[in-house]
Amino acid sequence: MSFARVVYLSGGVGGARLLHGLARALDPERLTVVVNTGDDFLHWGLSISPDLDTVMYTLADLADVARGWGLADDSFAALDMVRRYGGETWFQLGDRDLATHVLRTQWLREGQTLTQVTARLCQGLAVRVTVLPMSDAPSETMIDTDQGTLPFQQWLVRARAVPEVRGVSHRGDATPTTALLQALEAADLVVLGPSNPYVSIDPILALPGVRERVEQKRVVAVSPIVHGRAVKGPLAGMLKTLADKQASAGCIAEHYGRMLDGMVVERGDEASVHGLPVLGTDTVMHAREQSLHLATEVLRFAATLGPRP
Ligand code: FO1
């Protein structure tokens, strides 16, 4: 069975890695990426959408893969001038990256939606996969910590995710875009990327009507936890403080619950997943070829899953 329309929910660095493989395993018009915008914020007066940019740059083969964000071979001359003026330099914006934020800010101010702006930026980079922000309204992820409630980037980047996480909430009353709901209606497979469920996938599922629509579809998740550790980022600590659980692929499956029809985990982690079809394979993607291999494995595994009991 091959899938006619795949919707991929993505956020953060991990999600983008698998996406590069999916975009090669599928014809571009059969793949829609729905991207978390809970990380978005205003910085230097510019509208920054980190997860949208990481997805777009990855699909355009322009991403700095090692660093996980921004453009490969970018320079930081503007950042150096900001530093000389005593401006904020904790969030490092590259010179070419700035063009994305400048035009996104301008086009949003002209009244275009984030969906329209994203399509225009993708067109400029010849990205043919459909990239959809989860909402056209702001829905900033807030992190409740032992040092107060912090906006997401202030916690993750400025505070280096040191403050202990006590809760995650979303500011604003965002609704899913029509394009997102239509993509879910048309989908015959939904893949949850190997992203942090709390801050990259849950913000998408929390939008009114999204979880219900996803639950009606065939859903496969790829574990962001490998042999008890997060491949990248603060997830293991969050599982401890938010769910009092030792990080495992199984607790990611439990987090998503009945929504899942199958789970893809690192070879050797299968036993941690209970009551769900599970595939153990190579999920850690160092090189580009590995993301194509994993994408192919995910699609092949998804095709073996019968209708939900
Ligand atoms: N993450 C950092 O840890 N330090 C940075 O200076 C930084 C700058 C940055 C600039 C543009 C962009 O799109 C992303 C950037 N990120 C940076 C990553 C960003 O915080 C994360 O990618 C997501 O918000 C969480 O996945």
Query: What does the pLDDT look like over 154-209, one tens digit per residue?
Result: 999 999 999 999 999 998 889 999 999 999 999 999 999 999 999 999 999 999 99
Q: For residue 273, what pLDDT band results from cuts at 50, 70 and 90?
A: very high
For the CA of 94, the closest atom of ligand 1 is 10
For the CA of 196, the closest atom of ligand 1 is 26
The β-bridge partners of 165 are 145
For the CA of 152, the closest atom of ligand 1 is 24
Distance (Å) from CA 157 to ligand 1 centroid: 7
**pLDDT reported for residue 289:** 83
CB 298 within 8 A of CB 265: no
Dump pLDDT digits (tens) for 203-239.
Answer: 999 999 999 999 999 999 999 999 999 987 899 999 9
Distance (Å) from CA 153 to ligand 1 centroid: 8
Q: For residue 250, what pLDDT band results from cuts at 50, 70 and 90?
A: very high
Mean pLDDT for the stretch of residues 286-296: 90
Q: For residue 263, what pLDDT band results from cuts at 50, 70 and 90?
A: very high
**pLDDT reported for residue 49:** 98
At residue 309, does pLDDT exceed 80?
no
Distance (Å) from CA 98 to ligand 1 centroid: 13
Dump pLDDT digits (tens) for 19-69.
Answer: 999 999 999 999 999 999 999 999 999 999 999 999 999 999 999 998 999
Ligand 1: which residue has its CA nearest to atom 19? 50
Question: Domains along the chain?
Answer: 6-39+129-304 (3.40.50.10680)
At residue 306, does pLDDT exceed 80?
no
Binding site membership of 194 for ligand 1 (Cβ less than 6 Å):
no
User: CA 138, CA 52: separation in Å to the nearest integer?
Assistant: 14
Distance (Å) from CA 69 to ligand 1 centroid: 6
Q: Which residues contact 124 (CB under 8 A, 6 or more apart)?
A: none
For the CA of 49, the closest atom of ligand 1 is 13
At residue 296, does pLDDT exceed 90?
yes
- Among 177, 186, 222, 225, smallest CA distance to 204 is for 177
Neighbours of 212 (CB within 10 A): 11
The two three-digit tokens of residue 149, written as one number:
């409630």
Binding site membership of 156 for ligand 1 (Cβ less than 6 Å):
yes
Binding site membership of 12 for ligand 1 (Cβ less than 6 Å):
yes
Dump pLDDT digits (tens) for 118-150.
Answer: 999 999 999 999 999 999 999 999 999 999 999
CB 283 within 8 A of CB 222: yes
